[in-house]
Structure formats: structure tokens, C-alpha cells
Amino acid sequence: MGTSEQLEGGLSGGAARLTASAGETPAGRLSGDTTELGIDIISVGRIRRTLARFGGRFVRRVLTPSEQRYVRDRAETLAGRWAAKEAVSKVLGLGVRGIGWRDIEIERLPTGQPAVRLRGRAAARAEQLGMARIAVSISHEADYAVAIAFGVRTAGGRYLFPPDIEDRLDDRERRILARIERLRALAAEDDGTGASRA
């Protein structure tokens, strides 16, 4: 079990540090580093049954070629990678269905620690969010694998809804979103004393 981080495109760093969040500014821009957390747990038995049923087809759908070479046919290791990918997708706020299994790669560093490499839609989403680092840790206990991912979004990042979420909002949700935007606009006009006009 360990932590490390690495993002495709040259973003990398050492062990993740917790920093205090300064919150969001009126326009939705982050005013300081904020953290995102994702966690997932899966039964190794479930992965074992899926491997028995679908074999290589399942492995090729979920893992990159590099991950396939490391995992081979070890259900425990695949379960750990599965949980890690799910945890990272939660940090990105989309879930794997919004990104794609192979857009998130869980590498193994020479020290044995897992590291995150993003590509495609996952890398684009991390860039949109101003995600500077993502660290991941994987653990196994009895018949379960669990992973936790920790991401840091830097000042200047912006929280964005998943790409198609506005298409799925009902009228009530649209009214709430419009009200939030009006409140943000009012807050932007604030004279800096902290007085609210909403």
C-alpha cells in the first residue's frame, strides 16, 4: 500500500499533501487548492467470476497493455486496479462511464507503489478541473480490494458538471441552477465586506 502521483502531460509530484481549501469564488473559480477524494471497494470473488466468464475480453476492455502485463490472470491484482480506477474516476467527478476504463492507467512504480497516468477524456477532465496531482493507494483484505484516490485542484481550476448533465436536468433543477448563477453574480458585485445581498 502506498501513494504516488503522475499525470500524463508532464504533471507529476511527490507524496500528496493536504492543504486547506479556500472554497470557490463567485464565478466558480477555485480561490485556493482544494482536494477531491474517491474510494471504491470490490469483491475479489466478483472479479474472479467475471474473469472466468469473459476472460481476455474483459481484461482487454478494462486494462491498458501495460496493466495487462502486470496483472496477468491474478484476480486480486485486477480487483485492486479496478477499485483504483473507480476511485480516480470519482476524484474526476464523472465515474468510469463518463471517462473510459483505459483512460485511467494504474502503473506500478519500482518501489511497488501504484501511480496514476491519465490519457484521453480523463486527462482532458483533469485539465478542465485544474487537477495538479492524483495519488492512489490500494489495499487487499480477505476477499476484498479497496482503493482510495486523492486529487488536488489548484487555484484557477473550475468545477464543471459532467458534459451532458445539463441535458438531463428537470425544470426544478434548472431553476435551482439559474438561482445559483444569480447568487454568484450578486456575490461578484459584493463590496468585499462579506455582506450578502441575496
Q: Which domain holds residue 178?
A: 164-198
What CATH number does residue 29 fall under?
3.90.470.20
Write down the pLDDT at residue 103: 95
Which tens digit of pLDDT belongs to each residue from 83-132? 999 999 999 988 777 788 999 999 999 999 999 999 999 998 898 888 88
Q: How far is CA 28 from the centre of its chain?
A: 19
Which tens digit of pLDDT belongs to each residue from 53-93? 999 999 999 999 999 999 988 999 999 999 999 999 999 98
Write down the pLDDT at residue 57: 94
Other CB atoms within a 10 A radius of the CB of residue 1 amount to: 13
Q: Does one domain contain both 144 and 195? A: no
More confident residue, 8 or 153: 153
pLDDT of residue 17 exceeding 60, the answer is: no
Nearest Cα to 100, choosing from 70, 120, 115?
Answer: 120
Which tens digit of pLDDT belongs to each residue from 146-196? 999 999 887 555 555 555 556 666 787 778 878 878 887 887 776 454 554
pLDDT of residue 4 exceeding 60, the answer is: no
Q: Does one domain contain both 94 and 185? A: no
Domain count within the chain: 2
Phi-psi region of 9 (alpha: psi -120 to 50; beta: other; left: phi over 0): left
More confident residue, 153 or 47: 47
Do 100 and 121 meet the contact criterion of CB atoms below 8 Å apart? yes
Q: Does one domain contain both 41 and 133? A: yes
Q: Does one domain contain both 43 and 9? A: yes
Q: Does one domain contain both 136 and 86? A: yes
Q: Does one domain contain both 86 and 109? A: yes
